[in-house]
Amino acid sequence: MYSRLLFPYQMRIRLCKRMIYLKTHDQYFSLNRILLLAIGLWPYQQSNFTRLQFIFLSTILTSSFIFQCTPLISQKCTPDFVAKVLSSASFFALFVVKYNMFCINMEAVKDLLEQLQLICNELKDNNEFAIINEYGCSAKRVTAALTICGICSVFAIIAAQFSSKIFDFILPINVSQIHRIPITVEYFVDQEKYSYWILLHINVAFCVGATAMVGIGTTLIAYLQYTCGMFKIASYRIEHAMNNNMLRNNNLKNKFLIFEGLIFAVDMHRHAMKLSKHLLSSIEPMMFCLIIFGVASVSLNLYRIFQITSLDDTSLNVKELIMPSLCAGITILYMFLSNYIGQHVTDHNHDIFVTVYNIRWYVAPLHIQRMVLFLLQRKSKEFILNVGLFVVSIEFFATLVKTSVSYFTVIYSTQ
């Protein structure tokens, strides 16, 4: 079993002992660093310029959200109109919450990355470096995939806005067309005259928000991926300490090495749980707000989709469906990934105890058996990641989707 655990990692990278740098130049955080630097949120390079950058971009995001809510004041409100306004406003609220609350917790995130760096510096052998590199590569792939999705979403939104102008340029017609703004806003100016400035404001806000969602989200995912690697290292240390050669040669040196290996495994397990819990406790207010606005966004955008599909103008339907469809799809994807990584951490913790069950602890000396039984007793207290009363898991994702669909059904039944 010991050889089976090591073989995949020995084959994937060249085993040479080296330091792993997580903060500024690490190859696995390079894309996260670029995304967060672009919006002034990279924790390690804060200057007066980045503070001004944050104030400027935060103002753009917040003002965009406010101008999406002002139609509720300036125009006559009907249930359908309120749902139309709030469908986009609730989605942009996710951007505002994510961007501003991460800035508030930036020092806590920096401290967590520092602690993770210290733990990675204490890895014992080449196989442990291989394991942490494996999870680092996985985090980098997720970051790249979500970055591509974000770019495609921004491109789809902008292309939908200018599609009518493009077709009018290719196939010119005599009738002038009004340039349509994709969402309902009220800037208290002539929106036809200043339509391009309004579109610029909305598109910049969307780009900033999308960059924040991808950059912040993938950084947190990468951090939890590294904690999963720590759980895997704890499993490796247990198997390494209790391998057959150690148990067969029952001398004082081997007993000491078994004790030492189990202590190092327990220490790594404890650090992994501590860092995972610390991260969730640091961002708990942000996650709680995202849950509320996420459910509202999915419900209202589903209702908006049904509103548009019930209209007779098919050409208009296709254009107006893009924004609510993207908002609902992005929000559901974000819900899934957030809960999936929480489930991933819980499963890795469970794998440690599967490893303890499978080792031949019953042939070890009695005092070592007692130590292993101590590990098994820890399984009675389940390790979960939670946001308040909510447990971050695939089951909770299903609950969120079910709740969103239920609210959508209630709203739709009242029309």
> How many Cα atoms occupy the beta-carbon half-sphere of 231 within 13 Å?
24
Q: Which pLDDT value is given to residue 2?
A: 38
219 class by beta-carbon count within 10 Å (0-12 exposed, 13-18 middle, 19+ buried): buried
Which residue, among 239, 348, 228, has the nearest Cα to 3 in the 3D structure?
239
Question: Alpha-carbon distance 406 to 400, whole Å?
Answer: 10
The tokens for 295 are 């459910």
The model carries a pTM of 0.85
Q: Which residue has the tokens 């640091």?
A: 282
Q: How far is the C-alpha of 289 from the C-alpha of 284, rounded, in Å?
A: 9
Positions of the chain with pLDDT under 50? 1-19, 23-25, 167-171, 173-178
Confidence at residue 370, expressed as pLDDT on a 0 to 100 scale: 76
Distance CA 391, CA 148 (A): 29
Q: How far apart are the first and last CA of the chain?
A: 62
Predicted confidence at residue 180, as pLDDT, reads: 63
Q: What count of other Cβ atoms lies within 10 Å of the Cβ of residue 152?
A: 11
pLDDT of residue 308: 83
Could you give the angle at the alpha carbon of 364 between the alpha carbons of 360 and 257, nearest 5°? 100
Q: Could you tell me if 198 and 97 are in contact, meaning their C-beta atoms sit under 8 angstroms apart?
A: no
What are the residues whose beta carbons fall under 8 Å from the beta carbon of 118, sequence distance 6 or more?
Answer: none
Q: What is the DSSP string of 146-192?
A: HHHHHHHHHHHHHHHHHHHHHHHHHS--SS--PPPPSS----SS-TT
Please classify residue 142 by burial: count the beta carbons closer than 10 Å to its beta carbon, then call 0-12 exposed, 13-18 middle and 19+ buried. middle
- The pLDDT score that the predictor gives to residue 163 is 63
d(C-alpha 360, C-alpha 368), whole Å: 11
Residue 390: what are its φ and ψ, rounded to 5°?
-95, 130
Q: In angstroms, rounded to a whole number, what is the distance separating the alpha carbons of residues 165 and 169? A: 6
What's the token pair of residue 401? 């989707």
- Nearest C-alpha neighbor of 208 from the set 337, 36, 351, 332: 36
What distance in Å separates the CA atoms of residue 283 and residue 233, rounded to the nearest whole number?
26
In 3D, which of 283, 255, 274, 397 has the Cα closest to residue 345? 274
* DSSP string for 47-112: -HHHHHHHHHHHHHHHHHHHHHHTHHHHS---HHHHHHHHHHHHHHHHHHHHHHHHHHTHHHHHHH
Token pair recorded at residue 42: 């990279």
For residue 364, give Cα distances in angstroms to 97, 244, 267, 333. 53, 10, 21, 47
Taking only Cα atoms into account, the Rg of the chain, rounded to an integer number of angstroms, comes to: 26
